[in-house]
C-alpha cells in the first residue's frame, strides 16, 4: 500500500520594523520551504494461520533515511526500526489473529521530507487444531492447540462426553476448558472432548481418552503353610502388587504390606491404589489365624499313679477357635515288669489350623 505523504509547512512570514528617527526599516522573512512527499509501502503475506508468527517489511521510496514504527491494532511493536540503505525496514515478529491490522509509520530524519503511513489487514486461514483430554479424580480438562505453524491460545467451546453420552460443555480460557466431574471407577470409561472450532479461523477437532483403573493384587505369605481348611497357624503377611494402566499411580503408590498377628476368623485385610487420572482399585484378603494348640485332657488315670488293676484311659480334646480336625487319638503300650506291668499312653489332637497337642504319661499295675 502506498500512502501519500503529509506536508509539514516550515515557512512563515515574519515582519520586523525598526524605527530610527525618520527612517523605517522593513525586514521580510524568506519564502516558505515546501516538503518533499514520501512514499511508503508494506509487504506482508496475504494470509497466515491462526497465531502464526510473521514479519512485515516496509519500503520507503528512494531510500529516504528515517525510521519506521510498526504497530498491530494500535499497539507499537517495540521501538522504531531504522530504514536501511536499501530503503527497507523489517518489523519484529508478531502473531496473526483474525482481522489484525498492521500499521507502518515513517518519520524521516531530514525535515525536508514529509512523514507517511501505510497499513495492511491480514486474513487468517482456517487452521487445524488438536484436542487433548486430561482427567483427574475430580475434573476433566480439554486443551486445544493450533497445529504448527499456527500457535497461540485457541478460543471457542468444547463439549464433553462420557462413553458417548453428553456431560456438559465449557468455553476455552487460555486454550483450555475444565469441568468438575468424577469419572466412575466401576470399570474403564471413554472420556471425549469435541472442540467446535471458531468462526472458520480454527477447525474443529476431538479426542477420546480411555480412563482405566490401575490393577492391584494381594498375596498371603506365612512361615507355616496354610491348612486345607484355609486356616494359618503363624502370623501372616499380606503383600500388595500394583500396576499402572491409563495413568501413573499417585504419590501414595501401592498399598503397603500388612502383617496379621492377631488370632481370629474372617479378618479382612484391604489395600487400595489410585492413579493420577482418578482411577482406583481395591484388593482384599480374608485371613484365618489360629496359633494356639488344642487342649487335650486324660481321663480315667493319673500320670505316674499305681493301681491294683488295669484302668480304662480316655482322652478328650477341644479347640476354641478353628476347631478340631478330628477326634483325640489315644495310643497305649504295655510294658511288663517283675512285679506287675506299666501302661504307657500317648494322646494327640490336631486342630483345623494344623496345631498339634500331645499328652503322654503312664501308670503302674501291681
CATH of domain 1-124: 2.60.40.10
Indicate if 129-211 has the same CATH topology as 1-124.
yes
**pLDDT for 337:** 93
What is the 3-state secondary structure of the chain? CCECCCCCCCCCCCEEEEEECCEEEEEECCCCCCCECCCEEEECCCEEECCCEECCEEEEHHHCCEEEEEEECCEECCCCEECCCCCEEECCCEECCCCEEEEEEEEECCCCECCEEEEEEEEEECECEEEEEEECCCEEEEEEEECCCCCCCCCCEEEEEECCEEEEEEECECCEEEEECCCCCCCCEEEEEEECCECCCECCEEEEEEECCCEEEEEEEECCCCCCCCEECCCEEEEEEEECCCCCECCCCCCCCEEECCCEEEEEEEEEEEECCCCEEEEEEEEEECCCCCEEEEECCCCCCEECCCCCCEEEEECCCCCECCCCEEEEEEEEECCEEEEEEEEEEEECCCCEEEEEEEEEEC
Q: What's the pLDDT score for residue 30?
A: 54
pTM: 0.70
Confidence of residue 331 (pLDDT cuts 50, 70, 90): very high
To the nearest whole number, what is the mean pLDDT of the chain?
Answer: 91
Tell me what pLDDT residue 33 has: 62
pLDDT for 25 beyond 60: no
What CATH number should be reported for the domain whose range is 129-211?
Answer: 2.60.40.10
Domain positions in the chain: 1-124, 129-211, 215-289, 295-365
Report pLDDT for 356.
Answer: 98
Amino acid at each position: 500500500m502506498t500512502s501519500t505523504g503529509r506536508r509539514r509547512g516550515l515557512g512563515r512570514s515574519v515582519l520586523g520594523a525598526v524605527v530610527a528617527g525618520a527612517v523605517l526599516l522593513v525586514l521580510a522573512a524568506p519564502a516558505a520551504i515546501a516538503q518533499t512527499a514520501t512514499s511508503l509501502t508494506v509487504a506482508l503475506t496475504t494470509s497466515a494461520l491462526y497465531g502464526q508468527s510473521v514479519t512485515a517489511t516496509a519500503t520507503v521510496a528512494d531510500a529516504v533515511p528515517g525510521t519506521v514504527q510498526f504497530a498491530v491494532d494500535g499497539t507499537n511493536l517495540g521501538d522504531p526500526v531504522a530504514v536501511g540503505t536499501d530503503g527497507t525496514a523489517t518489523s519484529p515478529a508478531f502473531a496473526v489473529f483474525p482481522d489484525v491490522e498492521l500499521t507502518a509509520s515513517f518519520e524521516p530524519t531530514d525535515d525536508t521530507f514529509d512523514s507517511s503511513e501505510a497499513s495492511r489487514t491480514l486474513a487468517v486461514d482456517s487452521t487445524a487444531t488438536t484436542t487433548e483430554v486430561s482427567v483427574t479424580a475430580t475434573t476433566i480438562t480439554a486443551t486445544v492447540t493450533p497445529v504448527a505453524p499456527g500457535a497461540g491460545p485457541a478460543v471457542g467451546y468444547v463439549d464433553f462426553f462420557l462413553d458417548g453420552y453428553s456431560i456438559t460443555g465449557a468455553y476455552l480460557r487460555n486454550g483450555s476448558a475444565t469441568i468438575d466431574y468424577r469419572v466412575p471407577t466401576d470399570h474403564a470409561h471413554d472420556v471425549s472432548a469435541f472442540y467446535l472450532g471458531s468462526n472458520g479461523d480454527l477447525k474443529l477437532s476431538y479426542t477420546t481418552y480411555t480412563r482405566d483403573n490401575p490393577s492391584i493384587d494381594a498375596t498371603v505369605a506365612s512361615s507355616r503353610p496354610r491348612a486345607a481348611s484355609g486356616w494359618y497357624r503363624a502370623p501372616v503377611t499380606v503383600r500388595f502388587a500394583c500396576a499402572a494402566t491409563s495413568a501413573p499411580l499417585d504419590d501414595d503408590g501401592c498399598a503397603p504390606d500388612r502383617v496379621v498377628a492377631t488370632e481370629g476368623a474372617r479378618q479382612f485385610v484391604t489395600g487400595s491404589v489410585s492413579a493420577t487420572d482418578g482411577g482406583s482399585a481395591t484388593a482384599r484378603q480374608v485371613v484365618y489365624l489360629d496359633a494356639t494348640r488344642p487342649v487335650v485332657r486324660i481321663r480315667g488315670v493319673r500320670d505316674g499313679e499305681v493301681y491294683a488293676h488295669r484302668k480304662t484311659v480316655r482322652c478328650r480334646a477341644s479347640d476354641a477357635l478353628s476347631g478340631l480336625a478330628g477326634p483325640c487319638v489315644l495310643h497305649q503300650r504295655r510294658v511288663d515288669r517283675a512285679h506287675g506291668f506299666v501302661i504307657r499312653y500317648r494322646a494327640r489332637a490336631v486342630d483345623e489350623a494344623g496345631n498339634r497337642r500331645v499328652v503322654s504319661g503312664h501308670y503302674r499295675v501291681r
